[in-house]
Amino acid sequence: MRESGDVAGTPGCKLVGPAGELELKEGVIAAKRHIHLNSESAKAAGVENKQIVSVKIDTKDRSLILGDVVIRVRDSFNAAMHIDTDEANAAGASGEVWGEIIK
C-alpha cells in the first residue's frame, strides 16, 4: 500500500487496448485510501496534509468506518475521497456518497 503518486521502485506493466499499447516501467501500486482537500476545506475540517483519519460512511444498508485514511492537501484539489472498488462495495456506496471525518 502506497500513497498515490509514490511510484518509485514499483513494478511496471504493459497496457493493451483497442487504441494501442502503453508500457510503464514503474507505477503499479495499490493506493492507500485518501481524501483530497484544498487548503480552505482542510482548515474548515480541522485537518492537515498527511494526517491519518477515519471516515464514517453512512449508507442505507451498509454503513461502515474506514480507518487509515490519508489527508492530502493541495490548493488545486476539489474535495474527494478515493477508495477502491471493494471498499465502496462493502459500504454499499454508489454515486455521490458523503462521509464524516473522524479524528
Domain map (residue ranges) of the chain: 1-31, 32-102
- Cβ neighbors of 73 (< 8 A, separation 6 or more) are 37, 38, 39, 42, 47, 48, 49
Give the model confidence (pLDDT) of 80-97 as tens digits: 999 999 999 999 998 889
Residue 46: helix, strand or coil by DSSP? coil
What pLDDT, on the 0 to 100 scale, is given for residue 68?
A: 97
CA distance 88 to 24: 27
- Which class does domain 32-102 fall in? mainly beta
Q: Within 13 Å of residue 18, how many CA atoms lie on the same side as its CB?
A: 0
Q: With H, G, I as helix, E, B as strand and everything else as coil, classify residue 79.
A: coil
Q: 26-42: per-residue pLDDT in tens? A: 999 999 999 999 999 99
Q: What is the pTM of this model?
A: 0.85
CB 29 within 8 A of CB 4: yes
